[in-house]
Amino acid sequence: MARHDRWVMLTTLVVLQALTIVIGVYAMNTGFSLSALTGQSPPGGPTESPQEESPPAPVVTAGPVLAQLPVKPGDGPLPTKSTLTRQLTRALGDRALGDRVGAVVLDAATGQQIFASNADAAFVPASTTKIAVCAAALASLGPDTRLSTKAVQGSEPGTVVLVGGGDPLLAGPSAKPRYPKQASLRTLAARTAATLKSRNIKKVTLSYDTSHFVGPVKADGWKPGYIPDGNVATVHALAIDEGRRHPRHNAPRVDD
């Protein structure tokens, strides 16, 4: 059993990239406000009530990515360095891992490096780059910024325009509670309809405005399968259910 434990201990030290993150970042407070039609409502018309604020998310400081493993004495022989190198090289050559793979294996007892492959190469640490994006958004926009979706009166009589402000989750009630509280397209529609009724407006023409965001809707380097596979969504000021074809998790996304 001791021999098996030591073998498991060594093999679990194989990593593609190890980062120690010691930055605590406030979660971006992107609550989404709702507005009814612009302008003064007549007496008795609906008014916008302030939404109840959820408590702020706690600040979390990440510890080491890899904690030191306990070393148990064993009497079984360990694999030789050549055997370990051969086995790991074969495993890292699997095409499923892609064409950019790096790994480092350290002896848990001594800290000595016993295997390395592309150890000096630089790799983008996948989704952990979202921390940098969040920090940049907080620095440039501020923690009090809200992405608002509004229904406003159009330039032509009898028109209502849905103006997108960047909320990617605009849809019906969420199945699970979210922080910040998710905006509801149904709520916005009900408030807009109530305002129209109070003004004795019975027929309107609907349109939408996505001009809040300018520039490319896709990033350079995105592979053709990223959007249909549901990995990313195109960047638009107005989106429903994160741009997915269905409101279920990991559903494919639409190009527009």
Residue 86 or 55, more confident: 86
Q: What is the pLDDT of residue 32?
A: 35
Q: What is the pLDDT of residue 75?
A: 59
Q: CB of 164 within 8 A of CB of 35?
A: no
Determine the average pLDDT of the residues in 203-210. Answer: 92
pLDDT band at 227 (very low <50, low <70, confident <90, very high): confident
Is the pLDDT assigned to residue 23 strictly greater than 70? no
Residue 95 or 242, more confident: 95
Is the pLDDT assigned to residue 48 strictly greater than 70? no
Mean pLDDT in the chain?
71
Residue 106 or 41, more confident: 106
CA 61-133-126 angle, to 5 degrees, is: 80
pLDDT band at 230 (very low <50, low <70, confident <90, very high): confident
Is the pLDDT assigned to residue 31 strictly greater than 80? no
Q: CB of 131 within 8 A of CB of 93?
A: no
Q: What is the pLDDT of residue 160?
A: 93
Is the pLDDT assigned to residue 49 strictly greater than 60? no
Q: What is the pLDDT of residue 111?
A: 86
DSSP state letters, the chain: -HHHHHHHHHHTT-BS---------PPP-----EE-SSSPPPTT---PPPPPPPPPPPP-----SSPPPP-----SPPPPHHHHHHHHHHHHT-GGG-S---EEEE-TTT--EEEEESTT-----GGGGHHHHHHHHHHHH-TT----EEEEE-SSTTEEEEE--S-TTBBS--SS--SSPPPBHHHHHHHHHHHHHHTT----EEEEE-TTS-S-SS-TT--TTTTTTTS-----SS-BGGGBSSSSTT--B---
Determine the average pLDDT of the residues in 163-170. Answer: 83
Nearest alpha-carbon partner for 160 in 203, 109, 123, 113:
203
pLDDT band at 116 (very low <50, low <70, confident <90, very high): very high
> Can you tell me the distance from the alpha carbon of 104 to that of 86, in angstroms, rounded to the nearest whole number?
14
Is the pLDDT assigned to residue 57 strictly greater than 80? no
Please provide residue 236's backbone torsions phi and psi, each rounded to the nearest 5 degrees. Answer: -140, 155
Is the pLDDT assigned to residue 14 strictly greater than 80? no
Nearest alpha-carbon partner for 206 in 239, 149, 152, 160:
160
pLDDT band at 247 (very low <50, low <70, confident <90, very high): low
Q: What is the pLDDT of residue 249?
A: 67
Q: What is the pLDDT of residue 11?
A: 41
Q: Which residues of 35-49 are buried (b: 16+ CB within 10 A; e: fewer)?
A: bbbeeeeeeeebeee
pTM over 0.75: no
Q: What is the pLDDT of residue 173?
A: 56
> Can you tell me the distance from the alpha carbon of 254 to that of 240, in angstroms, rounded to the nearest whole number?
11
